[in-house]
Amino acid sequence: MNLNALLYIEYLKTSRAASFWASLFLFAFFGSLILTFNFYGTVVVNGQEVAATQLPRDWEKLLSQFKSLQVVFVPISLILLAAGEFAHKTARQNVIDGLSKEEFVAGKVFVALALALVYFLLALSLSALFNLGAKSDGEKALIGAKEFFLFCAYFAALLGYGFLGLFLAFLTRSSGSAIAFYVLYLVLEGLAGGLLQLSPTLKPLVKFLPTKVFDDLVNPFRFDAELLQQFQWQIQRSEAAGESVPDAVYGQLPRLETPSAFSLAFLYVALTISATYFLFKRRDL
């Protein structure tokens, strides 16, 4: 089967799935609430009222808030679509009709990429739309070099979470079980990270856990040299004054260098896709 036909099949399946449109609507609704609170509030600086949120200044803050939604909506949307293939026997029927297992998994990989992109672009579009009606700085471009690299990192992180959901959908072949396992995995990885923190020897390993890598990739300090310099200067001033700086403060800084963070993120994505393929290849339909 050629690529265009495969993409068209996945487009039809996704566009006709009620779960996809319901998830997209709910995401847009909750995202709009987040943006309303951000853009239509004000703060007072030096006696002057200014907008609480402005773009491009606050892309990091907005994306951080959207991320809390997207690490839920992207994987769960994929789980509902992929696990539904097994529940309704369409995965089996597709293979019987001539679609190879490799093509079936490839189709789901394309769906994962498309869904991550859709949710990502929807967040950007809603933010830009709200920015038009707020007290924004119209002299600056909404997206500069710094924002471009931040967006690339953010999209890579969404892929990481999305492909984790896809793997669990293929593992359990049940929407409910896959969602439960996804939540359980996040909880268990968080607990594992907390336990590793207790050991000075094992503590450096925490930053290499999958979701820690994805979260570190979108650290707001990573692509904002000015913000990073100010934060480091505050730490140095505290240390010079003899004040102790809590580990939690240092923990706000990026733990991995940018090339290493991207490399690890894509390695985890590649491993997750490979595990999904071999799992599907070896199991009966």
Tokens representing residue 153 in the block: 């990192």
Q: Is the peptide bond before 210 cis (omega within 30 degrees of 0)?
A: no
Name the least confident of 146-150, 176-180, 194-198, 244-248: 244-248
Residue 229: predicted pLDDT? 74
Please give the average per-residue pLDDT across 235-243, as a whole number.
Answer: 69
- Identity (one letter) of the amino acid at 124? L
Residue 248 CA to residue 236 CA, distance in Å, equals: 15
Question: Residue 203 to residues 71, 89, 152, 200, 263: CA-CA distances in angstroms?
Answer: 25, 45, 28, 5, 21
3-state secondary structure of 59: helix
- Per residue in 139-153, pLDDT (tens digit) is 566 777 778 888 999
Q: What is the pLDDT of residue 119?
A: 95
Mean pLDDT to the nearest integer, 175-187: 95
User: What pLDDT digit, counting tens, does each position of 103-149 carry?
Assistant: 999 999 999 999 999 999 999 999 988 888 665 555 566 777 778 88
**How crowded is residue 58: how many other Cβ atoms within 10 Å of its Cβ?**
20
pLDDT tens readout for residues 26-81: 999 999 999 988 887 665 545 555 567 778 778 888 888 899 899 999 999 999 99
Average pLDDT in the 95-110 region?
Answer: 88
Could you tell me if 222 and 153 are in contact, meaning their C-beta atoms sit under 8 angstroms apart? yes
Q: Which residues contact 19 (CB under 8 A, 6 or more apart)?
A: 77, 80, 81, 84
Mean pLDDT of 166-189: 94
* 224 or 15, which is more confident: 15
Q: Please give the model's pTM, rounded to 2 decimal places.
A: 0.87
Q: What's the mean pLDDT in 193-205?
A: 87
Residue 42: beta bridge partners?
A: 51
Q: What is the pLDDT of residue 55?
A: 82
